[in-house]
Amino acid sequence: SQDETAARIRELKASLGSDVLLLAHHYQRDAVVALADVVGDSLRLARAAAEATARHIVFCGVRFMAETADILTDPGQAVYLAEASAGCSMADMASVDALEAAWDELAAAGAGKVLPLAYVNSTAALKAFVGRHGGLTCTSSNAAQALSWLLSQGAKAFFFPDEHLGRVAARELGLPLTETAVWDRGKARGGLDARAMAEARVYLWNGFCVVHQMFEPQDAAAWREKEPGIRVIVHPECRLDVIGEADAYGSTETLSRMVDAAPAGSKWAVGTEINLVARLAERNPDKLVVSLSPCQAICANMYRTRPKSVLRVLEAVAAGTPPPPVRVDPAVAGQARLALERMLACA
Ligand code: 13P
Ligand code: SF4
């Protein structure tokens, strides 16, 4: 039963002590979150991994997060993705080959100085591309800061994979929409027309999160009509027209903090993954907390991880036969680390 699994996990964690650290993203199911040592957004989890001394780090999240943790830990530490098949469709929308081709096209067209900026929701190979071209990574909580740093180098920015986060970061810095241009990842060549290439300051790869595309601007209007005074808050992976209807936007950590810190009786329509929204509702019974969307905005990849996934890893670790860790090739990791460390230093 679930209770027995949780009890066994607690026993194993107690016997392994400081040798093991369990990290969980806010989108994980409740039963997993309840077992974690650290629960956070992707920035907080990256920092927790970088600071960790445990030999075994069990990651409850998706692959790009576990790769980031591996890159930021020492070779003597091992990171296990609790469900090895948990990926992220947004990360898969930007292959290094496609980015290399786009980069060559920019250079050939004489676009001038361009620096790459990768949302951490990307493969390690892509972060390495960014590292070797002098750019940096960002998360949903520091995208505008990272973009600002990059533009202050007198460069244009090439932001990927998430078009929407890139656009809202540019807007936050006061850039008019005309200074952004969308690069069509569906085209092998000519993803951006020549005029846009010359005029724009921020190129946006048109990747997206399938979960956050479920939110619509009219969802906000519907809740405001139904529950006067409700505050609408959304994740910045939502489209700009949705963000435009919201009172505020922020990372999973920011959204959580806003609701948790709010006064009793306040009302919140939250535009992000359903497991987080349901948990916020449950731990704030004195407030009204609802999903912004009538659709089930669930991240199927995050949902793959169950307590029994964690138990499997911990039992193998305790038996001295740990599962294969997530290991980023050292050459790739070295370049990706440059991009991640630039982020951790500046944002
Ligand atoms: P956060 O950085 O806000 O945790 O977001 C990660 C993510 O995958 C959102 O879809
Ligand atoms: Fe990827 Fe979206 Fe799931 Fe986040 S919610 S892990 S961006 S698919």
Q: What is the CATH number of the domain that holds 30?
A: 3.40.50.10800
Tokens of 346: 């500046």
- DSSP assigned state of 162: B
Is the distance from CB of 71 to CB of 337 less than 8 angstroms?
yes
Sign (positive/negative) of CA torsion 343, 209, 148, 145?
negative
Is 340 inside a domain boundary?
Answer: no
CA R_g for the chain:
21
162 touches ligand 1 (CB under 6 Å):
no
pLDDT digits (tens, 9 = 90+) for 221-253: 999 999 999 999 999 999 999 999 999 999 999
Same domain, 220 and 271: yes
137 touches ligand 1 (CB under 6 Å):
no
pLDDT digits (tens, 9 = 90+) for 195-205: 888 889 999 99
Sign (positive/negative) of CA torsion 166, 86, 322, 28?
positive
pLDDT band of residue 304 (cuts 50, 70, 90) is very high
Give the ranges where the chain is alpha helix by DSSP (H): 2-16, 30-33, 42-51, 63-72, 96-108, 124-132, 143-151, 163-172, 194-199, 217-226, 240-245, 252-261, 274-283, 307-318, 330-346
Same domain, 51 and 130: no
Q: What is the pLDDT of residue 347?
A: 61
Please give the tally of structural domains in the chain: 3
Q: What is the pLDDT of residue 198?
A: 84
Same domain, 118 and 191: yes
pLDDT digits (tens, 9 = 90+) for 271-281: 999 999 999 99
- Among the candidates 209, 226, 254, a domain finishes at 209
Hey, which of 211, 237, 251, 272 would you mutate to test ligand 2's pocket, going by the most ligand atoms within 8 Å of its Cβ?
211
Q: What is the pLDDT of residue 196?
A: 83
Residue 180, SS3 per DSSP: strand
Cα 94 to ligand 1 centroid, rounded to whole Å: 17
Using a pLDDT cut of 90, give the percent of the chain over it. 91
Same domain, 95 and 205: yes
pLDDT digits (tens, 9 = 90+) for 294-303: 999 999 999 9
